[in-house]
Each structure stands twice: as C-alpha cells, then as structure tokens.
Structure 1
C-alpha cells in the first residue's frame, strides 16, 4: 500500500529530528564501562523525568486519536511483551525515574521507528513486515530503548531555560495538531531547522552511537543474535537505494554512516554468536500486521495473494502464518465459516507447540463476530486459564458476557477491571456498552466520560458528564459523583488551557 505519511506524524518526525540533531556536543560516553550515566544529574538537564513523561503522554493523547494508530489488542500485547522483555534484560534503562515503557505501532508502509519522551516507542507497520527475525526487530526496539535510557531529548535542554521545555512541547504538539496545509507547515519547520540540523548532525551521530551501544548490550543480555542489528541496517541501506530525492524517514531520524556500521560490526565480533529461534507469535503478528496495514478491499486482495504464495513455501511457521492471515482476511470479509476453517488449519499445524494467544484471540473474535456468544465464552474462559495476564483476553471476556446478555456479571467484572487497571480506556468503553444494554443511561455516559478523560479528550469528557447529569435515571448518588468529577476535569482543562497560552 502506498498510503502517504499523515501530515501530523510527518511533522512530528521533523520535530523529533530537530531534537536529536541539536544535542549538546558533550554527550556522556554511554556504556564505556557498561554502566549508564547518572540520570539525575541536574547540571546536565533541565527537563525533569516527570516533565519528560508528561510531554510524552500529551503527544500520545494525539497519536491515539490518529486513525493510523493501530489500537489492536494482539499487536499491542505482542509488542509490549516483547519490548518489556528487552527492558528486563537491562533494568537500569528505566533510570532513576523508573520509566514505564510502552510500545505501539502505527499504520505506515515506510520503514521507521521512533522514541517519544518518557518511554513511548513506536514502530511502523512497514518496519514490522521488513524485519526478517525477532533479533532484527529486537535490534530496532533496543536502539530506541537506548535513546530513552540516555534521555537524549531531555539532555538536549541541558543548558537551556525552562521556557525551552514549553517551546519543545509546543513544537511537538503543534506538529500533531496541524491539519490541512501540512506540507506547507512541514516546509516551514524544515526551513527553520535545516541549518541547525546540518551544523549539529555530528551530535546526532554521537547519540545514534550511544543508542547502538546500549542496544547491543540489551540484545546480548536478552539472548538475541546481535548480528540482527547489522542485518537490519544492511537491508535498510538496500531499501534506501530505491529513494531518489527523498531521504528515507528512518535514515532522516537515525543517520546511518559507514563508521556507525563498522563500529557495530567491531563490537559484535567480540561477542559469541548465538542463534535464537523466532517465536510462532512473531510470524503470526507479521501476518496480522500485513492485513492491518491496508484493510481496504484492494489491500485485502494483495495480502491474500501474498499469503497464497507463502502457503507454497516449506517452513512450517510460514504455512501457519499464511493460514492465519487468510483466516483474518476472511473475518474482515465476514466469511465466518471460511475464517474458522482456515484458523483450524493453522491451529492443527501449530500443535503441539504451546498455545498461542494470537491464534486464540482470532478464534474468539470469529465466534463473537458470527454472533455465537456461548461458543465465544467457552473459548475465552479457557483462554483466561492459559493467558491470565492477557489484557486482550480480559477485554474479550467482557465482550462475550455482554454478547451473551450476562450484563450484571459483565458490569461486576468490568468495575473490578476498572479498579485494577485505572488507565485502561477500553475497559470504560466496554462498561459503557454494558450499561447501555441495561438501559442505565447516567452510568453509561459517566463511563464514556472516563474513557474520554483517559485518552486526553477533556472537553468530550465534560460533555458526557453533562449528558449523564440530565439522564432520567441520574439519582442523588450519581449526581454527587458527577459534581466531583466535573470539578476535577474543569480544573484540569483550565490548567491545560493555561499551559497552551504560555506556549
């Protein structure tokens, strides 16, 4: 698919590039002694970890509302389980701030990945498809983790004043918020940062080398093949030859030099080679991403042709992934019997490998879409035993209860989930669905208000509270909760407006 990069995200990349290309010239020699520098050294940085995280969350609020943000439970779960396993290999990358890393994907065929302030790391769907092994994917994520660990954005502000933080936030958020004349805005921003980028490019290369060194250490400690980083960069160089006047986004935000590749090769020569087998879920997620990247009928036809060719290949994981991809396409086309048959072929071929949450998730979705709540509930109850920590399965359990008209049970379960996972907007959306099915209008709109608040849409949250207040079943208890929550959100909105004016 040749979908153009959305203007908002394109501008965000330019903004981030200007950040990485204006790093101070005296970057600490990361991992010179295999230790991270002290992250709490305020003489080098004025952007506190708290403000860095807040800035990242503000940007994420806009990204989550972008239609190209892939809010897909199996994909998010895989990326976060995989990414957090890399973080666990080097826990010190969380720093003194103890950043909670979050990994996500955006729909875009262009090879790219980026880190936002505060531990948010994204990959493009195109990069997921280009990665030929989990070691290659790990090399990209580990590199981005290195940027976060070294707090490159925060350190850029080391000798600047507090006003610079506001300017940076304004630049990033403004880039995301722009509509319409995105190309003009991009040109203006490029014009303003072009000279600085050229002058300071060597600083960005220093930052890239830092991130490479940390990434290689994470790969080694995590049991991955460290040559995956060289393999990925080699393929990136080959892909870059297909570009004429336009610099590939990944090379734009991650300058790639022969010296940098030579440095990586020299480092991996010192390490013992270790081969790591890819998980089945890696192949399944790549198949799922291929469908998600373009779910138009044209895109589905192209994906189907790809999977049909893949079925003729010998490696068993490829055949399983192809059947899974075809089953997912059939689900998209509402051909539920065909989807079920293809999925069963994939499940049979995968046996006796340990159960896959990706395969299980699709089976439950097929039953739910086919309006077979009893069968879906049977599958999801088994899945809860096999994958007790899966948030996707938890959501599917609630969906199955609602579809099966077990609304009181669904409400109790979702209220418990809302207490345990206070930042989960999907739980609040499902709770609103359960209340709607019960005819509980006030509670429905109160739950929707919480969902909007969690995704950063404070005005929409306040609107939902006003609707809830006027609902015919809003009693004294509900009115009291609405009053308290409205005051909190109004104060939050006033603070956001104040910060916006200061920028």
Structure 2
C-alpha cells in the first residue's frame, strides 16, 4: 500500500543488565515463581502504563505503519499468545524500523520487533522463538516483579524507580546510567534477578513454541548463532545488551528443546514474503544491492519460498517506477495465489502507479467479498477509492475502518486526506487530532477538536460528538500526566 515509511513511565524487560557477572548455576528445573507482583502494580495499571509508553514510542521512534507487515506480525504473535500460559492482558505487536537486532516487551502486552531481526532470523520458527520469549516476559510479569525486587533493595518510590529505569527499553546504555545514578541497591543482585527472568522466559517460550506448532530447536539455534557472531564484537547489538546470552543459557535452552519431540516445519512463504518486503523497503539499501540480495538468496531457496524473492524484485521495480517489470512478476504471482495479501497490496500499488486506480478498486472489491473485514484489503481499498477521486465512498469506508482500528494511523491519515478533498475542514481536523492523541500530543489534539467544534453547526450532533471527544481526551491527558 501507500508507502510511509520519554516521560518516565516504563521499565524494560531487561533494564537491569550491566557489566558481566558470575553466571548463575545451570539448572533445567527453574522454579516457577509465577506471576506475582500484584503488590507492585495491578494488571489494569500495567495496561495504562503500556498504553502511555506506546504513545510515546509512536512520537519518538520510527514505528513501521505498514498494513501488510503489521498483519503478518499480528497473526504470528497471536498464534503464539493463543498457546501461551498465564495470559492476563491483550497483546499488541509492532515493528520499529531499525537494522539493529532487537526485540523488547513492556507493560500491557506490547511487543516490539526491530526490522533488523528479520534479516538475522532464517526461518519463521526462529522469529517465533524471539516473540515467544518476549510474550513470556509479559505473561510472567517480569517488569512488575523486577520493580518489586528493586523496591526491596532501594528506598526509592515506585514512581521514581520506574522513571530511573525507563530508558533501558530503547537505549540500554542510557538506561543503565539512569539506574546507576538513581538506585543504591546491590547491582549484583539485580543482574542475577534479571538473568533468572531470561531463563524463565526461555522456558515458557519454548513451551509456547511447541504448543503453537513451531520448531522448538529454533530458539537455541538462533541464540547460539547470535552469540557466536557477536562473541568478540566491541559493540554488540542492543538485543545482547538487554538479553545477554551466556553459554549456560544457550545450553539450558538446547537441553529444554530436547525434551520435546522433533518436529519438521515446512518453510513459511509468508515469513519470507515479509522478509523480502523489509529488505526492499525498510533497510535503506540501493535498488541494485537489493536486487542482488534477492538473486543470491533466491538461487539457493527451495521451490516453496521462491515466490518471495520474485516478490522482492517486483517491489524494487515498483518503487523505482519500473512498472512494466513489476507488472510481469506480480501478475504471475497473483495468478498463483489470488488471495495473498502481500500480492494484493503490491498489485494495488502497481495499478495506482499506472494511473489505473479503477482496476485496484475492482480487484479489491472482489477480494473483500471473500474477506469482508480484512484490514489490509480494506485500507488498500480506501486508498484506491481516494486515487479514483471517490472521496465520499472513501470516507464511509474509512469511518468504519478507524472505528474498528483506532490505533492505526494509516486510517486517520487517509480520512484526513479524503475530508480535505471534500472541503470538510472540521472532519480533517478531527482525524488529525486522533493522530496527535496516538502520539501523546494531548494539548494539540484538544486544540484541533476545539477548532473542529467551532466550525461545526451550533447545536448539531457533529458538534456534540466533537465536544464529547474533547472531554475524553482531557481525561486521558490527566491520566497520562498522573503516571509521571
């Protein structure tokens, strides 16, 4: 589809990792210390903290708002959540455009994956092993439990402690500086406590992998390869700063994986399509280098995933306005798999680039009959309607879409654009206000809704809707500020 490429609130899943320390004794039977920490934070409080920090991330980090990639990550993540233990919160999965290898989780079931992770994970099971590990950090409440442990060692209040540990999610080195400056407890104890969390997350993660039908050996294989690659690196990737890989942890995960029956998992085409999309659009490499990558990798790939490398080549052609070359590849791919979301999205882009949005509209209307509530097809359909200058139809589609997907900035951007074309300044302001609220810019969002209310007819239902939303945003703003 169309290509668009810190308040002291949250505690990292591995915020307390510092300098190397003696490795904990190896044990395959880690105690199940459960999901305690209710004395520190309730589940509802964790959800509020998570929502607040997600809004700050949208404002400060290059969160990828790609409908197809988001759908893939969401499907993978919820397949794992459905097979996880102790799930008490909703889960949200998203990607940050960053070539560094990293993943992290925070309060409220939010799990972030760096785009660089896809470049190093060689299979869907390897990617799933990282996601399952992060899910376990959330379900076992490691954030709240770490805060509780810190509180026992330091006289700092919970709010001050959360503030001191915030930065470790996105910047481990800065986070460590804050911890050192603010807390006075034993650093050795904090390191050991976090390493036990890492092993526990591995244990629960492997169990989730097995239940979800993935290859359990993918976890020790990926961790082992990562440790070997960066063993002597002067600057390891962020993932190794927040998720250290001492040899006993890798050995532990390998031994645990052997307790499960060996399972052969066929390569996932959708995983390799997602990987190809990231290489083509989110690594920043030149077209020639990307095409060379697809050619080299494709020459060694099995027939089941060959289409992914052709798809990657088509995206590079499309993004460089080589429309005839892209058309040849995408037409063939879509004929083979007419319901594949990656192909439908790319073909929609192609038709629009060819200034034939009516073809995109026709194709997507047909797709919607088979999958009427699919978010990827719907957002592409709305975009195609806009390019066909069917703005009123686009608004109707987007009003439903934003109601069902209020956290997707793509829907609000398109709704703003459609209302600009219609001359509906008040509705444009309202849509832009929602984008601002998603990024915790509360005052500006309230200002935009106030302007929208002033433009609406006095006493109208529309004005009442704007005023009610202003009241809601004020309450959300006050709750957000109260967390600081």
What TM-score results when the alignment is normalised by the length of structure 2? 0.86
1:331–1:467 distance in 2 versus 1, CA, 3 Å: farther
For residues 238-285 of structure 1, give each alpha carbon's deviation from its aligned partner in whole angstroms, at most 9, with x where no partner exists.
2213512x3432222112122222222222222210111122111110
Secondary structure at 2:45 match in 1: helix
Q: Shift in Å at residue 121 of structure 1?
A: 0.9
In the alignment, which of 1, 15, 18 is matched to residue 18 of structure 1? 15
Q: Does 2:74 match 1:77?
A: no
Quote the Cα distance in structure 2 between the aligned partners of 1:20 and 1:217: 25
1:26 is aligned to none
In the alignment, which of 448, 458, 462 is matched to residue 432 of structure 2? 448
Q: SS at the partner of 2:105?
A: strand
Aligned to 1:489: 473
Residues 1:87 and 2:77 aligned together: no
Please say if residues 64 and 97 of structure 2, whose CA atoms lie closer than 8 Å, have aligned partners that are also in contact.
yes
Corresponding residue for residue 448 of structure 2: 464
Once the two structures are TM-superposed, the CA of residue 154 in structure 1 deviates from its matched residue by: 0.8
Q: Per the alignment, in what secondary structure is the counterpart of residue 94 of structure 1?
A: coil
Tell me which moved more, 230-239 or 361-370: 361-370
Correspondent of 1:280 among 269, 272, 288 = 269
Maintained 8 Å contact 1:47/1:165 = no
What pairs with 1:117-128 in structure 2 (closer than 5 Å)? 117-128=107-118
Q: Which whole-Å deviations, capped at 9, do the CAs of 1:23-67 have from their partners, x for residues lacking one?
A: xxxxxx99979xx7664663xx41111111211222211222345
- The equivalent of 1:5 in structure 2 is none
Counterpart in 1 of 2:227? Answer: 237
The alignment partner of 2:86 has SS state of helix
Q: Which moved more, 1:209-218 or 1:263-272?
A: 263-272
Cα offsets for 1:396-452 (capped at 9, x unmatched): 111122222222222222223333344444333322222221111112212222332
Alignment partner, residue 143 of structure 1:
133
Please tell me the root mean square deviation across aligned C-alpha atoms, in Å. Answer: 3.3
Q: In 2, Cα distance between the equivalents of 1:423 and 1:111?
A: 26
Alpha-carbon deviation of 1:209?
A: 1.1
Structure 2 Cα separation of the partners of residues 154 and 408 of structure 1: 48
Deviation string, structure 1 residues 337-373 (Cα, Å, up to 9, x no partner): 322223234445xx3x683211221111222233321
Q: CA contact under 8 A between 2:91 and 2:111: conserved in structure 1? A: yes
Alpha-carbon distance in 1 for matches of 2:92, 2:351: 30
Structure with higher helix content: 1
2:315 is equivalent to residue 325 of structure 1: no
Name the CA shift for 1:217/1:67 in 2 (closer, same or farther; >3 Å): closer
2:192 to 202, 218, 235: 202
Could you tell me how far apart the structure 2 residues matched to 1:70 and 1:347 are? 25
- So what's the TM-score if we normalise by structure 1? 0.83
* 1:158-211 alpha-carbon deviations (Å, 9 max, x no partner): 36399744224434666789xxxx999567437537985444322222111111
- In the alignment of these two chains, the number of paired residues is 466
Given that 1:14 and 1:189 are in contact with CA atoms closer than 8 Å, whether structure 2 keeps it comes out as no
Deviates more, 1:455-464 or 1:322-331: 455-464
Change in 2 beyond 3 A, CA 1:234/1:39:
closer
Shift of 1:315: 2.0
Structure 2 regions of 5+ residues with no counterpart? 1-5, 19-26
Give SS of 1:105's match. strand
- Partner Cα distance (2:79, 2:256) in 1: 22
Q: Structure 1 stretch 487-496 or stretch 329-338: which is displaced more?
A: 487-496
Report which stretch shifted further, 318-327 or 118-127. 318-327
Q: Which residue of 2 aligns with 1:402?
A: 386
Q: Tell me, yes or no, if the aligned pair for 2:379 and 2:401 is still in contact at 8 Å.
A: no
1:167 is matched with 160
Q: Deviations over 1:190-235 (max 9, x none)?
A: 7537985444322222111111110111111111111111110121
Q: Is the 8 A contact 1:93 1:145 kept in 2?
A: no
Contact 1:59-1:172 within 8 A present in 2 as well: no
Change (3 A) 1:156 1:239: same
* Counterpart for residue 459 of structure 2: 476
Q: Within 5 Å, which residues of 2 pair with 1:220-299?
A: 220-241=210-231, 243-244=233-234, 246-295=235-284, 298-299=285-286
How much does 1:288 deviate?
Answer: 0.6
The answer to whether 1:110 aligns with 2:105 is: no
Structure 1: 5+ residue runs without aligned partners?
1-7, 22-28
Change (3 A) 1:172 1:401: farther
Q: Structure 1 residue 287: deviation in Å? A: 0.5
Kept in 1: contact 2:28–2:256 (CA 8 A)? no
Structure 2 vs 1, CA of residues 303 and 165 (structure 1 numbering), >3 Å: closer, same or farther? farther
- Aligned to 2:313, the other structure's residue is in SS state helix
